[in-house]
Amino acid sequence: MHTEQQSLNGSSYRQMTTFSLSIVVVLYLAHALPLYFYNVALPTILRHQGVDLRWIGMLSLLYIPWAFKFLWAPWIDRIYSKKLGKRTTWLLLTQMALVLGIFALAFTQFDYGLMVFVVIGLWISSFAATQDIAIDGYSIEAFSPENYRFASMAQSMGVALGSMIGGAGCLWLYQYHGWKIALIALACMTLLTMLAIFFIRNDQHHSGTESADAASKPSLIQAFKRPEMLWALALILCYRMVEAPAMAMLNPMLIDQQWSLSQIGLLMSVFGAGAGLLAAISAAYLLKKITATQLLIWAAWLRTGMYILMG
């Protein structure tokens, strides 16, 4: 009877609502703001300032924390304040660290040398990658497996909105108001999205007892014993090896072609994000009709064709 009641509580906890989806959208929006500033706006701004393409290409090194975040991901599930809750602990910590980092970047830029700029960039990148772990964990816990496609759609919507604001919005502000105003606005927007953290649900044991939860502590060793994990890592590696260098060089190329900052922002973060929103909604619908593997293969071929066309 006790177990049955826990199961019912778990079902209630995982019930999907418009509000719960909105929370996921805002969380990913908060996470995407600084990410797409680095991904879209910063390479464009640096090229506009005459920075050498080789240095701009080195910005890809700021994504190193994203490549290795799996190393500390298990500890995000193990270490937290019981008073705040597993996800709230890390979401608050990382969000405050991101706001501080963006404010620091606003008042330094290159005034204190390249090393200070890179250190602040690594600070922001590391905490954004850590926040991504916590948000992904919350999204999995907040919804039942049959609703994961909607959680994925909410994720893509949040990232698309973050791309619009962190990319196009920052480029527009930089063009008309300068570096400091653009970064302060980005920091304030990141701070505002922190409000969503106070609405997340922190039921730590919705799927079982405390003893069961303790017995299934996250472990990298156990994870790498699963063949599907190795295949997933290979897939992600192939994806990122293409995506990161291409995105890092695309905006500087447009600058060299005499595109204005507002035009680049419109193309990359408005039309691009709009396409992302459409794709997210389409994927949520198509996953009712076909398997995720089939959809992934179709998307991969389409993506390959677009790179060939662009080349």
Q: Which pLDDT does position 279 carry in this prediction?
A: 84
Nearest to 178 by CA among 39, 36, 48: 48
For residue 216, what pLDDT is reported?
Answer: 61
Q: Model confidence over 131-140: pLDDT tens digits?
A: 999 999 898 8
Measured in degrees and rounded to the nearest 5, phi and psi for residue 225 equal -80, -10
* pLDDT above 70: percentage of residues in the chain: 89
Q: Is the per-residue pLDDT at 227 higher than 50? A: yes
- Residue 130 clears pLDDT 60, i.e. is over it: yes
Helix (H, G, I), strand (E, B) or coil at 27: helix
pLDDT tens digits for range 216-226: 676 777 777 88
Per-residue pLDDT tens for 11-66?
444 567 888 888 999 999 988 898 888 877 888 888 878 877 777 777 777 878 88
Task: Write the CB contacts of 141 (distance below 8 Å, at least 6 apart in sequence).
Answer: 14, 87, 206
Q: Strand (E) positions, 58-132?
A: none
Tokens for 72? Answer: 């500390």
Instruction: Pick the more confident residue, 45 or 261.
Output: 45
pTM, two decimal places: 0.74
Half-sphere exposure (CA, 13 Å, Cβ side) for 20? 20
pLDDT score of 205 more than 60: no
Question: Residue 89 — pLDDT band, cuts 50, 70, 90?
Answer: very high
What are the tokens at 62? Answer: 């700021």
**CA dihedral in degrees (203, 22, 100, 128; nearest 10)?**
80
Give the CA radius of gyration of the chain.
20
